[in-house]
Amino acid sequence: MKILQISFHTSPFGSVGKFDSGGLNIYVQQTSKLLSKNHEVTVVTGETAVNFKENNLEFLSLNLFKKDLSVDDKEIHLQEFRKKLDEFIDLKSFDVIHAHYWLSGLIAKQVADEFKIPLIYTSHSLGIFLEGYNKERVDCEKMVMTSSDFVTASSEFENVLISENYKIDKNKIKQITPGVDREVFSPNPSIKRENIFLSIGRIQPQKGQVETLKFLSNFRKIESDFMCYFIGGPSGKSGNEYLDELKKNIKDLDLDSHVEFLDNLSQIKIKELLNKSKLLIHTSKFETFGLVAIEANSMGVPVLTTNNGSLVEIIENDKNGFFSDNLVESSVNNFVNNLLQDDSRFESIMKNCIEKSAKYDWNITAEEIENLYKKFA
């Protein structure tokens, strides 16, 4: 089977955590590698990147824009991307197209309609919940979903959202959960844990890092021996402005000695920090899945999060983390303080984290995607 994966706005084989790179990149990277064991897979992007071909996997950049261009500015290159697809790829030769994100979906729909190729769509993000509601984007998302043969959802939360908010037939939605790369995210038990907290994600209002600062300020009232590292760079048009706001809040809350920004790090560097940490704080306003949470759990790190989105499907209170409507409350402080003060309690939580993360496996994800593709073989 010949498979075309389209990731228009971001290179799946680029580094994550900065600009428009994140869970989507890891998802496409992992699944395309695994699918290429049995199928010919072509991954194409508009972002400038280095092309390569490894056995059955080909990655092609059409070199239309650089990584640091905002998504809004990338959008103007859509039709140029469509023209270049015709120039560089024999589109009619593919058996299935898998589009990632709504901009990719717009192009994939054109190609699928023209060449009568089955279309699978994965959103990775839904416009209805983003700040600054964009009706044009939501309408486009609905059009792509409606015209797709199948729409995948990463969680039950996303499944319901797509069905109820976009009015998509439930029979067209296939829930396929992402996985964890255990070659990377497996803990080294010989490394001593420290009172380190991590916040991992692009710096943008949607990721809600300001709520993390509120928690840190409140938690410091009962315990001051901790350090929190923010991993990820500014993303989107408001990213730099939001970073400035966070830095001002840090100064106003007198958290300078407890917080450090590390910008974008490789997965190996992130693993090293996770291996020394006792907590991941994830305060995103909206997540259809939250890949970083299961990666942290796989490293034995519990997750503190808000009662918001899909993470409540992953986190069980006092088992592999803690979630609450409000992170500035005594029950949250008690959970975190016990992690720092009680080694046996942390060891028990760490064991739970690793056990609960075991069910998330990219091999299973790729197999379920492959089975979806085979419906059209």
Tokens 């309408």: give the residue. Answer: 139
* Joined tokens for residue 331: 């029950």
| CA neighbor of 103 nearest in space, from 115, 91, 121 | 121
Question: Rounded to whole angstroms, how far apart are CA atoms 49 and 58?
Answer: 13
Give whole-number Cα distances, 3 to 121, 186, 345, in Å: 13, 31, 47
**How much is the pLDDT for 18?**
45
Question: Rounded to whole angstroms, how far apart are CA atoms 46 and 3?
Answer: 18
Strand pairing partners for 122?
100, 152
**How much is the pLDDT for 370?**
98
Tens digit of each residue's pLDDT (9 = 90 or more) over 158-192: 999 999 999 999 999 999 999 999 999 999 999 99
Region 200-210 average pLDDT: 90
Average pLDDT of the chain, as a whole number = 93
CATH number for region 196-357: 3.40.50.2000
Residue % of the chain over a pLDDT of 90:
84
| CA neighbor of 209 nearest in space, from 254, 159, 249, 253 | 249
- pTM of the full predicted structure? 0.91
Q: Which helix (H) or strand (E) holds 72?
A: helix 71-74
Q: Which fold has domain 2-179+361-376?
A: Rossmann fold (3.40.50)
pLDDT at 33 over 60: yes
**How much is the pLDDT for 328?**
93
Tens digit of each residue's pLDDT (9 = 90 or more) over 111-128: 999 999 999 999 998 998
Q: Which helix (H) or strand (E) holds 347?
A: helix 343-357
- Domain positions in the chain: 2-179+361-376, 196-357
DSSP 104-141: HHHHHHHHHHHHT--EEEE-SS-GGGSSS--HHHHHHH
Q: For residue 15, how many other CB atoms are within 10 A of its CB?
A: 15
